[in-house]
Amino acid sequence: MLSPTEVYLRGSGLTSPRVRERLIERLQDAGISDERVLRSMRRTPRHLFVEEAFSGRAYEDTALPIGHGQTISQPYTVARMSEAILRDGVPNKVLEIGTGSGYQTAILADLTNQVFSIERIKSLQDLARERLRVLDRYNVRLRHADGWQGWSAHGPFDAILVAAAPDEIPPRLLEQIAEGGRMVIPVGPQGGVQRLLMIRRVDGVLREEILEGASFVPLIAGAVA
């Protein structure tokens, strides 16, 4: 017999495995092809990361509010950024800026060896920590801090994923990309034109590639108690 936690994680009705599989099919139709990413998203219950009022919409391909003016990213966006992170090989050490609900964090923890994740809003970080614990994703270190500064004590990083959009790329994050490493980051004003960028460090030189258009909440400096 399944435990109450196992029953909840498995889901039912609008959170059932069948509904979740339809999301995977939509992601494939949208061009997501990395089986590692699809497999991770198939086994990571998104309904665990949204407020109960929105659990029936957890497997729609849409962003949903999580409080404090923040959102859990659209599944396509999570998949696209995860694919980009893996494109040059599985990174050993990843820095995530913007833990938020913890959903992207959980995917990264499933796909890579070690994740360092920064969140500026303490209450969101606390919820994310509990969700990651329930899923046994223990290869994550969380920090309540200003994401603009990165986490230099544990850098440089093989990959950096930024889950909110600054108007311009934070210099401290660029400094923390390891040789041969990459950063996936949306850049641009909220409500304006944003671009999802891949920035690589190759032979000491930073090279920028535009992946696609984007729409993210702003990356705000400072930390909130």
pLDDT of residue 5: 53
Class for the domain spanning 62-214: alpha beta
Name the nearest CA neighbour of 152 among 174, 132, 168, 181. 174
Question: Residues 81-87: what's their mean pLDDT?
Answer: 97
CA-derived radius of gyration, the chain: 17
Lowest mean pLDDT, pick from 15-24, 41-50, 205-214: 15-24
Environment class of residue 179 by beta-carbon count within 10 Å: exposed (0-12), middle (13-18) or buried (19+)? Answer: exposed
Residue 142 forms beta bridges with which residues?
A: 117
Confidence of residue 4 (pLDDT cuts 50, 70, 90): very low
Checking if the pLDDT of 104 tops 80, the result is: yes
Name the nearest CA neighbour of 83 among 68, 56, 104, 101. 104
Burial 11-26 (b: 16+ CB within 10 A, else e): beeebeeebbeebbee
Per-residue pLDDT tens digits for 178-214: 999 999 999 999 888 999 999 999 999 999 999 999 9
Name, in order, each residue with C-beta under 8 angstroms of 97's C-beta and a sequence gap of 6 or more. 117, 118, 147, 150, 160, 161, 162, 163, 164, 173, 219
Which one is catalytic: 73, 82, 101, 117?
Answer: 73
pLDDT of residue 200: 98
Average pLDDT score, the chain: 93
Confidence of residue 10 (pLDDT cuts 50, 70, 90): low
The CA distance from 162 to 156, in Å, is: 15
The CA distance from 125 to 113, in Å, is: 20
% of the chain surpassing 70 pLDDT: 93
HSE at residue 207, side-chain half, CA atoms within 13 A, is 9
The CA distance from 106 to 196, in Å, is: 21
Confidence of residue 2 (pLDDT cuts 50, 70, 90): very low
Q: Is 50 helix (H, G, I), strand (E, B) or coil?
A: coil
Per-domain boundaries in the chain: 62-214
Question: Residues 160-186: what's their mean pLDDT?
Answer: 98
Question: Residues 99-112: what's their mean pLDDT?
Answer: 98
152 a catalytic residue? no
Name, in order, each residue with C-beta under 8 angstroms of 164's C-beta and a sequence gap of 6 or more. 97, 98, 147, 186, 216, 217, 218, 219, 220
Q: In this structure, what token pair is assigned to residue 206?
A: 């930073």
Name the nearest CA neighbour of 70 among 41, 53, 50, 56. 50
